[in-house]
Amino acid sequence: MLKEKIKELAKAYKEEVIATRRHLHANPELSYVEFKTAAFVKERLEELGITQIEQKATTGWSALIEGKNPGKKVIALRADMDALPIIEANDVPYKSQNPGVMHACGHDAHTASLLGAAKILNEVKDQFEGTIKLIFQPGEEVAPGGASFMIKDGVLENPRPAGIIGQHVMPFIPAGKVGFRQGLYMASADELYITVKGKGGHGAMPETLIDPVLIASHLIVALQQVVSRAASPKIPSVLSFGRVEALGATNVIPNEVKIQGTFRTLNEEWRAKAHQKMLQIAHGIVEGMGGELDFEIRKGYPFLQNDPELTARATEAARAYLGDENVLDLDIWMAAEDFAYYSQVVDGCFYRLGTRNEARGIVSGVHTPTFDIDEDALEIGAGLMAWLAVAELEKA
């Protein structure tokens, strides 16, 4: 059976996939400047004998693996390649050699897994019908998202896939298990940049000032009405502020306060209304207290919706590959992912690869200096991606 052959190859190539992941982890590059990473990926694809490789969005690639009857159906597999501006705190042989840059979100594992899947699929291409499109994209971590540029550059055309499957590490799921969710899964993400302007001066003379610190304090509290009172309880929404900068002193009121935050939800109509509500409340509070306001809303990724039918088939295939006990049902996740752009164009399935190992102390969340993965998960990372693509082609 092809499934057993893929399992056998995933096991045989496990150490190679781990070595690939370690190379990528030690040599991380930030969003949209993944030049060495992209060159490495292309070199590996060419070593496999894959010739239909196209450059997309400067540092991205698409490539085709054609089975028998290649025009029958096309399925895409996607991985992202960029790292984060984080100083790695792990003491491991493959620690980042690029100071201040770290693969703290698992994109090294995603790229290594897809390269492993490519090797497996290329080896068994005479045993399936259809075409598998490999997508290696830049810039997932920085808005507007590399996926948007890849789509504009035609990555979902010539040939157009019937569906696209993406995989992402999940440090809250034990290695050896994976998770799926049909329908709404991840949130849209907008960045908020607010400047409250007043009139600074000596803290002992408040009557002569327009205090932007006080105004900003009222504003942060008042904006929570958007989620607590304006939003329907049926629509998940998050409004969080993570940076407040008021460069005064104990007795100095500054001229302005800068605030940065994020707004996330799972409904595009409400998203637009929330933007207007935030602006309305902010102008009312700030101008009513005598200040001036600059409020920029940078619209980020849309919400991510997994196609129910494609995801149901992928879940069934994963259960066949791993066993029912190793396939979990996921809840809504209010983080954001630019895979959402693909899912707005073609049927998408975005699932989670468990990478946690408490016995080995591998428990840190993504986007932290101590994030790491249980590399045993990479055998599933490569093998399951290959199997999901083949299984979906068989459903033509």
Domain parsing of the chain, residue ranges:
2-186+302-393, 190-299
pTM for the whole structure: 0.94
Assign domain 2-186+302-393 to its CATH superfamily: Zn peptidases (3.40.630.10)
Q: Is 82 a catalytic residue?
A: yes
* Class of 190-299 in CATH: alpha beta
- Between strands 292-299 and 327-329, the pairing is unpaired
| Residue-level pLDDT at 396 | 63
Q: Please tell me which residue in 82, 338, 374, 375 is annotated as part of the active site.
A: 82
Largest CA distance in the chain: 82
Q: How far apart are CA 28 and CA 44, in angstroms?
A: 17
| Residue-level pLDDT at 239 | 98
Digit-coded pLDDT (tens) for 261-293: 999 999 999 999 999 999 999 999 999 999 999
Q: How far apart are CA 269 and CA 163, in angstroms?
A: 25
Looking at residue 377, what DSSP letter applies? H
Q: Please tell me which residue in 34, 66, 108, 140 is annotated as part of the active site.
A: 140
Digit-coded pLDDT (tens) for 330-355: 999 999 999 999 999 999 999 999 99
Within 10 A of 164 (CB to CB), how many other CB atoms are there? 26
> For the residues 115-142, what does the mean pLDDT come to?
98
112 vs 55, 81, 117, 358, 382, CA distance in Å?
Answer: 19, 9, 9, 23, 8
| Residue-level pLDDT at 29 | 98
| Residue-level pLDDT at 51 | 87
**CA–centroid distance for 102 within its chain:** 15
* Mean residue pLDDT across the chain: 97
